[in-house]
Structure 1
Amino acid sequence: MAATILDPSGRPVPPAALRRLGEPVAGPTLAGVRPVFAGHPAEGLTPARLAAIHRAAAQGDALAYLELAEDIEERDLHYAAVLGTRKRALCQLPVTVEAASEDPEHVRHADFLREWLKTGVLGAALFDLLDAIGKGFSVLEIEWRTEPGMIVPARLIYRPQRWFGVPLEDGETIMLREGVGLAPLAPHKFVVHKHPAKSGLPMRSGLARLVSWAWMYKSFTLRDWAIFCQNYGAPLRLGRYGPEASEEDRRVLWRAVANIAGDCAAIIPKGMEIEFVEAAGLKEGAELYLKRADWLNREISKAVLGQTTTTEAISGGHAVAQEHRLVQEDIERADAAMVAVTLTRQVAHPIIAFNFGPQAAYPQIRIGRPDEVPLREQVEALHKLVPLGLTVEAAEVRDRLGLSEPAPEAEVLGGRAAPAPGGGPPPAPAPALQTTLRGLLARHLREPEPDLVEALTERLAEDAQGALAGLAAPIRRAFEEATDMQDLARRLSLLQLDPRALAEAMGRGLALAHLVGQAALLDELRRG
C-alpha cells in the first residue's frame, strides 16, 4: 500500500492537492472578499464603537477588529516601536535543526533541512510570522518549488489576517474567506501561527485587543493636548481703541490683532495699543497631558515587553535595568519556543515527508541562544582545574571564545613548550629526597626482603593520598554544594588551592617508581 502524506491535522492529503503545491490559493481579489485595500475603523473611534468591534470579534466577525489592529500599529509610534522590538528580538536569534536521533537516516533528514535554511526563505518570513503577537494569529502561504529530487518552499508569502475568519462552530479554526463563506485551508499550503498573549480564542488573544483601549484614551489625550496648545500656546492678543476711533480705525486694529499670531508682525495707528495676555497655570496644564500620555505609553510597554526600562529612562539604576532585561529575555524564550513548534510541525514535517516519505520521527527546528556558562566564569574554571589534571580539547575552548585555529606560519601569542619525545624522563626529586632514596636502595641490596619495598610503597602512597585529599576536599565540597553550573564555576573561582602539596606528592611517587624499577632490575640480575 502506498504511503500517505498527512496534513498538520492528521488528515490524508489528496494527490490532486499535492500536484497544485506551486499554485497560489489565497491571493487578493479585486472585487471579492479579499481586497487589497482595507477599511480604517480607527477614524473617529469612540468607546461605544470600540466595545462593539470587540464584541463582534468575540462572536466570530473579526474583520473590523483586524483592520483596527493594523490601524493602531500604523498610528501609534510607541506601540509600533515596542511591538517591532519584540518581533526583531526573535528574528535575530539563531535557527538550528536537531535530528530526531543519531540514526544516519535521521541525520540525513536534518542535514537536508539545514541546507534549506541556508536559502534564507525562513529568515525572511519570521517577521511576518510574528505578526501573530499583535493580532493573535498570522498566516503565510507556502509557494513550493518542485525540482527533480527536491521539493522545498521557495517563498513564504504573508497574507493579511482580514482575509481569514473562524467558523461559529468552534471559533478557533482559521479558514479562508471565499465567496459568501469560509473555506478550509488547503493542506501543506499554509503556515498558521497562533501566538496568544492570553489564553482563549485567537480573536481574543492578541495584544491589539489589550492595547486598543489604552491607544484610544491616549488619542483622546493627544487631541485635547493639541487643542490646548492651539488655544494657549500663544498669548491672547487684546487690542484697545479709544472712543474717538473711527470704523476704519477699528478694522485696522482687528486686522492687526488677527494677523499678529501667524505673521508675528503688524502695524497700527498711533494712539492704539495691543496687549498680550497670558493665562495662568499653563505649565501645570501642559504637564497634565504629558504625564497622562507617558503613563499610557508605559502601560503599553508592560503589555508588549513585560517591562519599561528598555523603553523609558526611569530611575532605578543598573540593577533594575538588569532585572527588566531578564524579563524581556524570558518573553523572548517563550516566543521562540512557540514559533519553533509551529515551524517544526507545519514546515519541517512536510519538507521531510515530500522528499523522504512519511516518517515516524522528524527533525526539530530550534530557535534561541544556547544556554552557556559566561566566558569569564569558564576561563576562571579552566585556570583552576587544568593544573589539577582536568583535560580539555583546545579546539573546544577556541570555539567557546570565538577564536580560530592559528595557521601553521602565523605569529601566535601564548602557548607553552612541547614536552620531550616519549614523554621525557620523570622530574628529578629534591636533593634531600635523592640522598634518602640512595640509602634505601643500598639497604635493599643488603637486605633484599620484599617487605621493605612494600612498606616503602605503602608509606609513599599514604603521603600522596594525604596531599591529594587536601586538594580534592574543597573541590568535592564545591561540587556537592553547587546548585547549577554557574554556581559551581563561581565556587571554584573562589577556591585558594596550593598546588605545591600535589607537586610534592607526585615527585615522591615518581621517585618511588624509579627506585622500585631499579630494585626490580637488580633482583632480576642477581637471580640471573
Structure 2
Amino acid sequence: MPGLWLSDSDYMDLDRIIPADMLGEVAVRSAASWLGILPDPDPVLRQRGDDATVLEALTADDKVFSSIQGRKIKTLNKSNYRFEPGHEEDQDATPEAVALARAITKDLERVNLRNLFSEILDAPYFGYTPVEIIWRLDGGVYRIDRVEGKPRKWFIFDAKNRLCFRGEDMAEGRPVHPFKFVLPQHFPTYENPYGLRILSRCLWPVAFKQGGVEFLMRFAEKFGQPWVVGEARPGALLPERQEMLSALASMVRDAVAVVSGGSKVTVHEMAGRAGSLHTGIVELFNSAIAQVIQGQTLTQDVGDRGTQALGTVHHQVLEDFAACDEALLCTAMTDLAWVYGQVNAPGVLTPVFAFVEPEDLREKASLGKDLFGLGARFTAKYFEGYGLSPDEFTVATDTAAAVPEEAIGEDDQGQAFAEGEEGGRRQYTPAQQAVENLVAGALPLAEAAAADMAKSIMDLVRKAETADDLLLLLSESLGDLDASEFEAVLDAAMTAAQLVGVGSARDEAGQAAGGGDG
C-alpha cells in the first residue's frame, strides 16, 4: 500500500487521496449572457413575453387577493414562536448558545415581525423575497437594527445563482454580501433560482376571467334591462315614428312617455339563461385561481358540489399548504439566526426558529381518561399540568374495579341486595347471573357476525375513489349486506333474556304467595 510519512506519527495513505476531479463542479452552465445575468426561465412569463413585474398587478383581482390572504393568514395567526438555542442531539445547549438565542431575540423586539413574516410568505407567489438586514455596531457587537423585505425588481441572479443587486436604474447587478441578505425561495432549482412562482400560473386564468367579466357586463347592458317596444299607429309617417322613438328612449330614463293616439307601447324582458355562459366562465376561472393558490376550492366557495366530507378534505389540503408556508418561514428565520451567529459568534451552534403550538388540554384530558380506564391513577402533580394549583382540586381515592362473583343462593338474596358491593366485588342473584352468562357467551358470536358486515363495508371504502363515491356506494349496498347471522344472534339473545325475565318473575311471585300462606 503506497503512502507517505508526513512526520514520525502521521502517515498518509496515497490510495485514499481524493482525485482533483472530485473537488470541482462538472455540470455547470456555459454562459448566461454577455452581462453574466441569468435570464428569468419562468415558462409562463417567457411565453407571454412579460417580466415578473406583471405579477404584482394580479393581486388587484378579488379572487387572487382573497386566496392569498386566506392562505397567509393561516400562518400569520400563529403568535407563539421563539428561537431555541442550538445544541447537539441528546445534549444540552451550551451557555454560549443560550446567550446567542437570547441576543437575537432581544434584537428583534423592535422589529415588526408580523409584517416581516408577511413579506417572507410572499415568496411562494413571486418565487423569492430579498430580505435585507440593517446592522448597527454597539460596543463591538453587531446588532440588528431593522429587517426589511426589498422590491424583487431591484434584484437578479447571475450565472452562479448568486443574488445580485442592480437597483432602480436596472444596471448590471453585483452580488450582495451573504451577511446582508436572507433569501427565502419557493422551490428553487439550479436551472431556476428565481423560484417556482404561483402567481405566474394565475396569469391566464385572470386574463380569461377579465374577458368573461367584460362580455358579461356588455351582455347585462344590452339584455339585462327590459326592452321598450312601440308600435306606431297605422299610416304614421317617418317624423312621427322618430318622435315616438325619442319618447320611448326618454321613457327608459324617466319611465314617462307620451305617444300619439293609436300607438301601442309594450315592455319585454329577456327570458332564458343566455347570460349564464359568461357567469360560468367567471366561476370556472375563479375556481382555477383558488386551485392554484390554495390547492382546493371549497373553503372559499361551496358551489353546487359541496358536501361536509369534501369540505373536510379541502380544509385539510389548506392546512397542508399552511404547514408548507410555516416550514418556509421557519427556514428563513433560522437563516437569519445563522447570519447573526456567524457575525457575532462563529463557533456557536445556530439558534433554531420554531413555532410553539399551545397544548391541547382537551386532547390531553381525553388521553388521561383513556389511561384511567386502563388502570392508571394520577397524583396531584399530574393535574398541575392543566394549569391548576394544588388548592383548586383534590385527588379522590378510588376502589378496585368491580368483578362479578359467583351466583349466590336464593336464601342469601336478601343479604346480597342489602350489602350491595362487598370488598369491591359485585354479587348477583341466580337470574341476574344467568343474564351475565348469556351476554358473555353471545358477545363472541355477535362480534364474529359483525366482522363480516364490517369487511363488506371496508371493501366499499377501498373501492370508492372520492367521498361522494363512498356515500353513493353505501346507499346502494347497505340494503344488500347479509346481516342474517348477526340478526340470529341478536334474536336468540333477546329471546333468552325474555325467558330468564319471565322465569324470575314467576319465582318471585311464587315466593310471595308462599310467604302469604305461611
For normalisation by structure 2, the TM-score amounts to 0.59
Q: Is the 8 A contact 2:164 2:176 kept in 1?
A: yes
What's the counterpart of residue 282 of structure 2? Answer: 293
Match of 1:344 among 334, 337, 362: 334
Tell me the distance in 2 between the aligned counterparts of 1:121 and 1:210.
31
What's the counterpart of residue 75 of structure 2? Answer: 90
Tell me the distance in 2 between the aligned counterparts of 1:224 and 1:364.
53
Alignment of 1:56-455 (within 5 A): 64-74=50-60, 76-93=61-78, 94-101=80-87, 102-148=93-139, 151-167=142-158, 169=159, 172-178=161-167, 179=169, 180-196=171-187, 201-203=192-194, 205-242=196-233, 244-245=235-236, 248-281=239-272, 284-314=273-303, 315-345=305-335, 347-354=336-343, 356-367=344-355, 369=357, 374-385=360-371, 388-389=376-377, 393-394=381-382, 397-398=385-386, 403=387, 405=389, 413-416=392-395
Q: Is the 8 A contact 2:128 2:185 kept in 1?
A: yes
Tell me the distance in 2 between the aligned counterparts of 1:307 and 1:87.
15
Tell me the distance in 2 between the aligned counterparts of 1:100 and 1:190.
22
AA matched with 2:353: I
Tell me the distance in 1 between the aligned counterparts of 2:75 and 2:250.
54
Q: Is the 8 A contact 1:54 1:209 kept in 2?
A: no
Q: Is the 8 A contact 2:127 2:185 kept in 1?
A: yes
Q: Is the 8 A contact 2:128 2:195 kept in 1?
A: no
Tell me the distance in 1 between the aligned counterparts of 2:54 and 2:146.
28
Helix, strand or coil at the partner of 1:393: helix
In the TM superposition, residue 183 of structure 1 has moved relative to its aligned partner by 2.0
Q: 1:325 to 1:375 in 2, by over 3 A?
A: farther
Tell me the distance in 1 between the aligned counterparts of 2:189 and 2:284.
22
Tell me the distance in 1 between the aligned counterparts of 2:265 and 2:377.
92
Tell me the distance in 1 between the aligned counterparts of 2:215 and 2:51.
25
Q: 1:320 to 1:149 in 2, by over 3 A?
A: farther
Q: Is the 8 A contact 2:126 2:198 kept in 1?
A: yes
In the TM superposition, residue 260 of structure 1 has moved relative to its aligned partner by 2.6
> Which segment drifts farther, 220-229 or 186-195?
186-195
Question: Over residues 398-445 of structure 1, what are the superposed CA-to-partner deviations in whole Å (9 max), with x where a residue is unaligned?
Answer: 2xxxx4647xxxxx6532489xxxxxxxxxxxxxxxxxxxxxxxxxxx
Q: Is the 8 A contact 2:129 2:183 kept in 1?
A: yes
In the TM superposition, residue 91 of structure 1 has moved relative to its aligned partner by 1.6
Tell me the distance in 1 between the aligned counterparts of 2:371 and 2:83.
33
Helix, strand or coil at the partner of 1:379: helix
Alignment of 1:20-59 (within 5 A): 53-55=45-47
In the TM superposition, residue 127 of structure 1 has moved relative to its aligned partner by 0.7
Helix, strand or coil at the partner of 1:309: coil
In the TM superposition, residue 199 of structure 1 has moved relative to its aligned partner by 9.6
What's the counterpart of residue 430 of structure 1? Answer: none
In the TM superposition, residue 316 of structure 1 has moved relative to its aligned partner by 4.5
Question: Over residues 457-476 of structure 1, what are the superposed CA-to-partner deviations in whole Å (9 max), with x where a residue is unaligned?
Answer: xxxxxxxxxxxxxxxxxxxx
Q: Is the 8 A contact 1:121 1:153 kept in 2?
A: no
Tell me the distance in 1 between the aligned counterparts of 2:188 and 2:297.
18
Tell me the distance in 1 between the aligned counterparts of 2:200 and 2:302.
27
Tell me the distance in 2 between the aligned counterparts of 1:133 and 1:90.
13
In the TM superposition, residue 139 of structure 1 has moved relative to its aligned partner by 1.7
AA matched with 1:362: T
Q: Is the 8 A contact 2:233 2:264 kept in 1?
A: no
What's the counterpart of residue 435 of structure 1? Answer: none
Q: Is the 8 A contact 1:237 1:276 kept in 2?
A: yes
Tell me the distance in 1 between the aligned counterparts of 2:192 and 2:82.
30
Tell me the distance in 1 between the aligned counterparts of 2:186 and 2:392.
50
Q: Is the 8 A contact 2:166 2:173 kept in 1?
A: yes
Q: Is the 8 A contact 2:107 2:145 kept in 1?
A: no
AA matched with 1:217: F
What's the counterpart of residue 24 of structure 1? Answer: none
AA matched with 2:70: T
For normalisation by structure 1, the TM-score amounts to 0.58
AA matched with 1:237: V
AA matched with 2:364: Q
Q: Is the 8 A contact 1:78 1:297 kept in 2?
A: yes
Tell me the distance in 1 between the aligned counterparts of 2:251 and 2:392.
75
Helix, strand or coil at the partner of 2:173: strand
